[in-house]
């Protein structure tokens, strides 16, 4: 298409050198449209199809609706074809090499978006004039907001990549009548404005031609900018969970453990309600972020449950319910190593009893007896275990989320 632009610039230069008056322009207009039938496609032969060349320039991405699968872009086409009925000799009209004719007065290709979001519409709206060169070359550049349906996959939100296509064809014409082709596979980006949410990854204009259909497709692949979702959804959720873990450090005697844990749980629930508006509202497929937030909510609920269990251990009476021996051994092994070492260092002292038939009588020193495990010690050991376990779960779930989505 670049050679056409250069050609038109040269014609504009020549036309500026030899200016025509309005009478000559009106005469050319009347002569061209005299007995012109806009409903008949331009023919040189009934066996030769009309070649319609198209390029596309993207101005910006207007909207991408993940819920409804709506993709809207702003752009304009550059469409060219040859209509020999609208050719003239520029020397007969004071060197008029180019002229503009209304879209409604001449034949134009019926390019139609065949996969629209709302309804099927033609590009021709009667708004954009068609520029004609003296040899019959037509130059038409319609622009509009184009909305198409797009299949959405939000599994890896907010690190997802989406691909959408817009298919256009001359509706009602087969390849034997009109062949629609992309003259340039690259989409023009000279007037493109960056979108705050989406970053373009790939873009191309493709030609599809077979024995039954001839159409072009505008293929756009874009990647979401994840900074907003990570800063406003993922990190605050992780920080609130870490804040919830601090309940295991609070002293039990203070009486604020349960109220603190429930307060943080309610804060997380309210936060999930607020961020729900920013999450894709679709269940097929469901975003991994939704599962991540669900895991965090369940973990916060379990922390409240574990806090209540630990407090029940703390206030249990040893006289009524003694500490079971397996639990006591686990406490000594995991949380009270000093007791375990003391138990292991209990010495056996040999004593001699002259009245006894046994010369060697073993006995245990009372100062080295094993320290008794209480329910308070069990509660403290339980808190330490749950603190470390929940922290590891938070780290593992967060790392798994980023590894699976990025």
Could you give the CA distance from residue 266 to residue 253 in angstroms, rounded to a whole number? Answer: 23
Contact 42, 82 (CB under 8 A): yes
Portion of the chain with pLDDT greater than 70, in percent: 86
DSSP, collapsed to helix, strand or coil, labels residue 175 as coil
Last residue of one domain, picked from the residues 225, 256, 281: 225
pLDDT band at 129; cut points 50, 70, 90: very high
- The predicted structure's pLDDT at residue 16: 47
- As a whole number, the mean pLDDT across the chain is 83
Could you give the CA distance from residue 66 to residue 198 in angstroms, rounded to a whole number? Answer: 12
Last residue of one domain, picked from the residues 225, 251, 280: 225
Does 351 reside within a domain?
no
Measuring CA to CA, which residue among 198, 194, 223 is closest to residue 405? Answer: 223
User: What is the enclosing helix (H) or strand (E) of 376?
Assistant: helix 375-405
207, 305: one domain: no
pLDDT average, residue stretch 297-318: 87
- Who contacts 42 (Cβ-Cβ below 8 Å, separation ≥6)? 50, 81, 82, 83, 84, 85, 107, 136
Does 352 reside within a domain?
no
pLDDT tens digits, one per residue of 330-344: 888 877 655 444 444
251, 327: one domain: yes
259, 176: one domain: no
pLDDT tens digits, one per residue of 335-371: 765 544 444 444 333 344 444 444 444 444 444 445 6
pLDDT tens digits, one per residue of 184-203: 889 999 999 999 899 999 99
Q: Using a cut of 0.85, tell me whether the model's pTM lies above it.
A: no
- Who contacts 295 (Cβ-Cβ below 8 Å, separation ≥6)? 397
CATH number at residue 135: 2.70.170.10
pLDDT average, residue stretch 142-146: 90
Does 309 reside within a domain?
yes
pLDDT average, residue stretch 36-58: 88
213, 237: one domain: no
Q: What's the burial of 276, exposed, middle or buried (CB within 10 Å: 0-12/13-18/19+)?
A: exposed
Q: Is pLDDT larger for residue 284 or for residue 286?
A: 286
- The predicted structure's pLDDT at residue 343: 43
CA atoms 252, 257, 258, 259: torsion sign? positive
Host domain of residue 244: 228-336+373-405
Query: What is the total count of domains within the chain?
Result: 2
Could you give the CA distance from residue 306 to residue 1 in angstroms, rounded to a whole number? Answer: 70
Does 83 reside within a domain?
yes
* Beta strand spans in 150-287 (E): 161-170, 178-182, 198-209, 214-224
pLDDT average, residue stretch 296-311: 91
Which two tokens mark 87? 């050719």
Which two tokens mark 223? 């990647």
- The predicted structure's pLDDT at residue 336: 62
309, 320: one domain: yes
């Amino acid at each position: 298409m670049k050679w056409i632009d250069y050609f038109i610039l040269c014609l504009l230069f020549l036309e500026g050198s030899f200016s025509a008056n309005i009478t000559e322009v009106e005469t050319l207009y009347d002569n061209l449209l005299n007995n012109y039938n806009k409903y008949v496609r331009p023919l040189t032969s009934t066996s030769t199809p009309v070649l319609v060349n198209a390029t596309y320039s993207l101005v910006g991405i207007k909207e991408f609706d993940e819920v409804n699968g709506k993709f809207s872009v702003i752009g304009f086409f550059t469409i060219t074809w040859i209509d020999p009925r609208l050719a003239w000799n520029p020397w007969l009209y004071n060197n008029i090499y180019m002229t503009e004719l209304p879209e409604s007065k001449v034949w134009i290709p019926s390019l139609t978006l065949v996969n629209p979001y709302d309804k099927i519409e033609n590009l021709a709206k009667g708004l954009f004039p068609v520029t004609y060169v003296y040899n019959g070359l037509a130059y038409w550049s319609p622009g509009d907001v184009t909305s198409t349906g797009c299949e959405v996959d939000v599994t890896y939100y907010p690190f997802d990549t989406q691909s959408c296509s817009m298919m256009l064809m001359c509706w009602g014409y087969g390849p034997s009548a009109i062949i629609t082709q992309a003259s340039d596979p690259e989409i023009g980006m000279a007037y493109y404005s960056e979108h705050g949410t989406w970053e373009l990854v790939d873009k191309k204009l493709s030609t599809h031609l077979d024995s039954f259909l001839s159409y072009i497709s505008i293929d756009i692949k874009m990647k979401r900018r994840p900074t907003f979702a990570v800063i406003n959804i993922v990190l605050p959720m992780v920080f609130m969970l870490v804040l919830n873990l601090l309940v295991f450090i609070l002293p039990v005697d203070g009486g604020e453990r349960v109220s603190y844990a429930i307060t943080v749980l309610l804060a997380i629930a309210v936060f999930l309600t607020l961020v729900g508006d920013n999450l894709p509202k679709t269940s097929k497929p469901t975003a991994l972020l939704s599962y991540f937030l669900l895991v965090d909510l369940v973990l916060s609920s379990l922390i409240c449950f574990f806090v209540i269990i630990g407090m029940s251990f703390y206030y249990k009476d040893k006289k009524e319910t003694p500490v079971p021996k397996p639990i006591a051994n686990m406490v000594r092994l995991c949380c009270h190593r000093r007791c375990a070492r003391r138990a292991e260092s209990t010495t056996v002292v040999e004593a001699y009893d002259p009245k006894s038939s046994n010369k060697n009588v073993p006995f245990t020193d009372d100062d080295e007896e094993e320290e008794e495990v209480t329910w308070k010690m069990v509660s403290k050991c339980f808190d330490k275990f749950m603190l470390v376990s929940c922290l590891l779960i938070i780290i593992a779930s967060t790392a798994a989320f980023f590894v699976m989505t990025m």
